[in-house]
Amino acid sequence: MSNNIDETAQQILDNIGGPENIISAAHCATRLRLVLKDDSIVKSEELSNIDLVKGQFSNSGQYQIIIGAGTVNEVYSSLVKLADINESTKSEVKKEADKKMNTVQKLVKLLSDIFVPIIPALVAAGLLMGINNVLTSQGLFIEGNSLLDIYPQITDLANMINIFANAAFVFLPILIGFSATKMFGGNPYLGAVIGMIMVHPDLLNAYGYGNAVLNDTVPVWNIFGFSIEKVGYQGTVFPVLAASFILAWTEKNLRKIVPSVLDNLLTPLLAVFITSFLTFSVVGGIMRSAGDLLANGLVWLYDTLGFFGGAIFGFIMAPLTLTGMHHSLLPVDIQLIAAGGSFLLALVASNNVAQGGATFAAMLLTKDKKMKSVAVSSGISALLGITEPAMFGVNLKLKYPFYAAMIGSALGCAYAAFAQITNVAPGPAGVIGFVTVQAGDVINFLIAILISVIASFVITILLSKSKKLNKSL
């Protein structure tokens, strides 16, 4: 095995331009993460032919080579020795990669770095909310009744699950405050404190703000003649992002001017007070309005364009995923949910499973045993909402399955938009995402999924008949 590992590392080194083309190298659980001086000299076709290489792609300034869990660390160690370079951490590689990105790429990466770490919490909460929906929805299994009506003994269990599910969304600013402040270079624990302040129970709950405005009962603080609304930010995204940026900026600048002997005392005190005051007096209200405008604008656009807009979204979603820009949809999804419901899950799920449908077709068509093996596992992953293995390991290599998936995604998303499927919580953007959509939309969600999978599968088969495209097989 050792010889095979060393041989693989040498082959990779030869095909990425040699040691002189490597700026830094690290690895994660499954991939080599390389920052190269020149990505254009990489021999991607030769890399794909290496037995242990399951896929490759360039994203956010990094050239990533998929090896697989349990093997990637051995290949990495051998690569570092052969190239005679120092081992790097993932954070060091990210810093080097950042230097190669433009402003838009850096912004997208920043949003990704903030929200990706909290995805497990949101998915867990979303699935719990889906389970609660299954228990409480009328007519889902029994006409005119919910499961609670038939089995009242599980009422308290449903109430418990509802509390578990809501917690992550009610206290969302705490999660975002921690993650965002860390990314902005501040103390993440102070960021969590800002999040706690923004959802303090003495504040008017954000979900009751609309009614309070209509009834002219919004509580206020009267400070030096100014009225500041005493309103929380439960379930919001943009206000806490702005507050986290202000906190990190304030903290870093205070550390430059506060004497070191008083730093641990005054810097946290002043940073938290200044940030909190600015958030409630100015920034929070502006960002809340901006978030509402964005949500309302997207809903209007969605309602106006209908199935045509859904088709466009479905067609371009896969290319967006290649750039990493799909991560920027999560805060938008959360904002839409806070406004009453989001349409994004059905669209993203339809796109993801389309990659799976195309991958399964490629599995039947290809004669390459290695690709067949990769296609099985990556196709299943795509159906569950994880598309990178399918895209980079199979569909992009053969090209035409990727095109077929784009078309299949467009068809599935067109139906999802036509049916106006709404999710009430973030969830896995795959087949099992149906648990987080409204009870009345479950059937339409599954229909959209089927359209995407079947269309992508069939179109892949049809495109394979082209001699020009069939060369990849």
Among residues 127, 129, 209, 125, the alpha carbon closest in space to that of 175 is found at 125
Contact 32, 67 (CB under 8 A): yes
- For the stretch 386-431, pLDDT in tens is 887 788 878 888 888 999 999 999 999 999 999 999 988 887 888 8
- For the stretch 127-158, pLDDT in tens is 888 888 788 877 667 777 778 888 888 889 98
Q: Alpha-carbon distance 222 to 216, whole Å?
A: 16
Q: How many residues does the chain have?
A: 473
According to the CATH classification, is domain 2-100 in 3.30.1360.60? yes
Mean pLDDT of the chain: 85
Q: Domain ranges in the chain? A: 2-100, 116-296, 341-470
Alpha helices by DSSP H, listed for 279-399, are: 284-323, 329-338, 344-365, 369-383, 388-390, 396-398
Per-residue confidence (pLDDT) for residue 121, from 0 to 100: 86
- For the stretch 448-463, pLDDT in tens is 999 999 999 999 999 9
Q: What is the DSSP string of 165-178?
A: HHHHHHTHHHHHHH
Catalytic residue chosen out of the listed positions 7, 10, 21, 28: 28
- For the stretch 328-367, pLDDT in tens is 677 888 878 877 788 989 999 999 999 999 999 999 988 8
Known catalytic membership, residue 28: yes
- For the stretch 171-224, pLDDT in tens is 989 999 999 999 999 999 999 999 999 999 999 988 787 788 888 888 999 988
Per-residue confidence (pLDDT) for residue 199, from 0 to 100: 93
Q: Where residue 1 falls among pLDDT bands split at 50, 70, 90?
A: very low
Whether the model pTM is above 0.75: no
How many CB atoms neighbour CB 454 within 10 A? Answer: 15
Q: Is the pLDDT of residue 468 over 60?
A: no
- For the stretch 286-298, pLDDT in tens is 998 888 887 778 7
